[in-house]
Structure 1
Amino acid sequence: MSDVIIDIKNVSVRFNKSTENINGLKEYMIKMIKRELMFQEFFALKDISFTVKKGESWGLIGKNGSGKSTLLKLIAGIIKPYQGNITVQGSISPLIELGAGFDPELTARENIFLNGALLGYKKNFITENFDRIVEFAELSEFIDVPLKNFSSGMSARLGFAVATITKPDILIVDEVLAVGDFAFQQKCKNRMEELLSGGTTLLFVSHSIEQVQELCQKSIWLEYGSIKAIGDTMSIAQRYTAPN
């Protein structure tokens, strides 16, 4: 039985980028009806291939716009490839965009149930684990406060606590820890290490190469939508941080 949990073969992701400035929805609709809209093809990912085995931890590094978040969204099933094939096995807990899966008008209590439902958790499961989620997020004093009044760090705490209350097959973390304080970052790091020891596969994006080195066995260096280098994290990190 194969232990490959993510298999990506010759995948490309294409977006259409407008080549002109359009002021408002009305102008957009008029141009669309007249077939005057001009778009330029933009490949966010180009011919990407790699495999991830169950229980491995992978870091994704590269400058802003290199395709890291696009690759994570592809694996999470949020977007589809333009070309190529992707196969993902098992359950996924994605922490890709801060605030994704939350309603800012609802309280933290209500958002725990909402976000849990989006992740596929049953209401009874969330009820049974509600206190554990709140305790981990350290938000008991703010549980009935609307999320729109939360700082980005508080929202990140809540999202991480809900996503990791159970052991997913694949945990995807994209820059979420960058907004938390140091103590909570360490708490999240410990939780991720606990999940890894239990067989969870981790895909981790961070601008902190030190965090990637601490958590990830292997890394992919993306540049302009292509793989510049792939391999063990220590060797990739040395190349990534080397002076030009």
Structure 2
Amino acid sequence: MKSEIIEINGVSMMFKLSSDRISSLKEYITSALSGKLSYKEFWALNNISINIKKGEVIGIIGHNGSGKSTLLKIISGIMKPTKGNIICNGNIVPMLELGSGFDFDLTGKENIYLNGAILGYSKKFLDEKYKEILEFSELGEFINVPIRNYSSGMMMRLAFSIATVVNPDILIVDEILSVGDEAFQEKSRKRMEELMSGGTTVLFVSHSLNQIREMCNRVVWLDHGKIRMIGDAEEVCDKYAL
């Protein structure tokens, strides 16, 4: 069996940005139909290649706009790269836009089953895990309230509880440990550590270098869509902090 669980091969991602100043939808449609709309190319990622072994915890750092979230979305299968390819040898749980699969008119309980189904969990599995999800989320009686009445912190707690109920092969995390209050953040961090010690491969984006140093084996530093440095967590974080 191959030791690499993720192979990222020459991945580039290009977005077309309109270079026209358009003030209305009507103007946009008119320009598009007449072929007068001009674009400029923006390469969010440029020729990224990384091999990740099973059980590694990889930190991804870089300033805003460096391509971190784009890379995570491509690995998760949310986006298709313009060039290159990615091979993932395991099931992925992406925790990127927590709660993006929620229906605001449904209760928390109904959303556990909806969001769980989106993540690929069976009803039987969710029945078995329902109590555990509820206890972890600390929502109590609010679980039977439509989530349009939830605070953002309550919604994040529910989404995190659903996403981490399994032990995935690959966990993709974007600034997740800022969920809820301090006590819940600490509980989230411990849950993440459990997953990591259980052999889950983790890709972790955070603006907190302390979190990256504490939790990661290796770090990828992205700068304007390119790899600036890749290596030992302490070494890369030290260079980034200069």
Given the two structures, how large is their TM-score scaled by the length of structure 1? Answer: 0.95
1:239 is displaced (CA, Å) by 0.8
1:38 is displaced (CA, Å) by 1.3
Counterparts in 2 of 1:176-191, with a 5 A limit? 176-191=176-191
Q: Which residue of 1 aligns with 2:22?
A: 22
- When the two chains are superposed, the root-mean-square deviation of aligned CA atoms in Å is 1.2
> Does 2:128 match 1:145?
no
Q: Give the AA of the match of 1:54.
A: K
Query: Using the alignment, how far apart are the partners of 2:179 and 2:160 within structure 1?
Result: 12
**Structure 1: gaps (5+ residues):** none
* Secondary structure of the structure 1 residue equivalent to 2:79: coil
Query: Using the alignment, how far apart are the partners of 1:136 and 1:212 within structure 2?
Result: 24
Q: Which residue of 2 aligns with 1:61?
A: 61
Q: Give the AA of the match of 2:3.
A: D
Query: Using the alignment, how far apart are the partners of 1:148 and 1:27 within structure 2?
Result: 35
Q: Which string of whole-angstrom CA distances, capped at 9 and with x for unpartnered residues, describes residues 124-150 of structure 1?
A: 111111110011111123112222222
1:108 is displaced (CA, Å) by 1.2
* Secondary structure of the structure 2 residue equivalent to 1:143: helix
Q: Which moved more, 1:19-28 or 1:214-223?
A: 19-28
Q: Which residue of 2 aligns with 1:111?
A: 111
1:46 is displaced (CA, Å) by 0.5
1:50 is displaced (CA, Å) by 0.7
Q: Which residue of 1 aligns with 2:70?
A: 70
Query: Using the alignment, how far apart are the partners of 1:167 and 1:6 within structure 2?
Result: 17
| Identity level (%) | 55
1:232 is displaced (CA, Å) by 1.1
Q: Which residue of 2 aligns with 1:129?
A: 129
1:106 is displaced (CA, Å) by 2.0
Q: Give the AA of the match of 1:234.
A: E
Aligned residues, how many?
242
Q: Which moved more, 1:152-161 or 1:16-25?
A: 16-25
Query: Using the alignment, how far apart are the partners of 2:236 and 2:180 within structure 1?
Result: 26
Q: Which residue of 2 aligns with 1:211?
A: 211
Q: Which residue of 2 aligns with 1:202?
A: 202
Query: Using the alignment, how far apart are the partners of 1:222 and 1:104 within structure 2?
Result: 35
| CA shift in 2, pair 1:160/1:16, >3 Å | same
Q: Which residue of 2 aligns with 1:47?
A: 47
1:22 is displaced (CA, Å) by 2.5
Q: Give the AA of the match of 1:32.
A: A
